[in-house]
Structure 1
């Protein structure tokens, strides 16, 4: 089911983005 794969990929991207925010000081900007 491509939908499930897309959702999982989106979750991974979101988690990766959160990790990047954790590493940087972008949290203050957002």
Structure 2
């Protein structure tokens, strides 16, 4: 089993969190 790099995982989590936040903000702004 390949070892997962914690730094890479945390970076991906930040990217996902940012994309989710932006998507939610845009959705609320549009009113969907």
Fold in common (TM above 0.5): yes
- TM-score normalised by the chain length of structure 2: 0.69
Aligned-residue CA RMSD (Å)? 0.7
Bigger RCO of structures 1 and 2 (CA < 8 A, at least 6 apart):
1
Runs of 4+ in 1 over 2 A off after TM superposition: none
What residue ranges of structure 1 are gaps of 5+ in the alignment? none
Q: Which has the larger radius of gyration?
A: 2
- TM-score normalised by the chain length of structure 1: 0.72
